[in-house]
Amino acid sequence: MLELLPLVGIALLFWLFIIRPASRRQKELGRMQSSLSVGDEIVLTSGVFGTVGRIADDHVLVEVAPGVSIKVARGAVGSVSSKVDRTVDENPQDDEPGSIAGGSQEN
């Protein structure tokens, strides 16, 4: 019985350092892929950057250039580089023509 103790210890360490973190990453990736919304800037696992155009159950339409969209599997989304801000500013800061509300002007 005592000779099995090192083997059990190695199996426990393997589970703690390899399997458990991998399952956490997998769950986090699944949550990220299920929380995609139209307009999010994403990076595919192949390294292609794009913007989410349409979302279906198992695939996403990604705009990679103006007027150029590709259909990819939802699992191909590797990361979200920036989420779309869905809030609308009812009271813009600058009311001058040609200025961007809340933005700084460069001269």
33-48 b/e (C-beta count within 10 Å ≥ 16 → b): beebeeebebebeeee
Q: What is the CATH number of domain 2-82?
A: 2.30.30
Which of helix, strand or coil describes residue 95? coil
Residue 78, Cβ density class (10 Å: 0-12 exposed, 13-18 middle, ≥19 buried): middle
pTM over 0.75: no
Residues of the chain short of pLDDT 70, as ranges, are: 84-107
Q: What is the pLDDT of residue 97?
A: 58
Q: Cα separation of 101 and 90, whole Å?
A: 10
Find out whether 93 and 102 touch, Cβ atoms under 8 Å.
yes
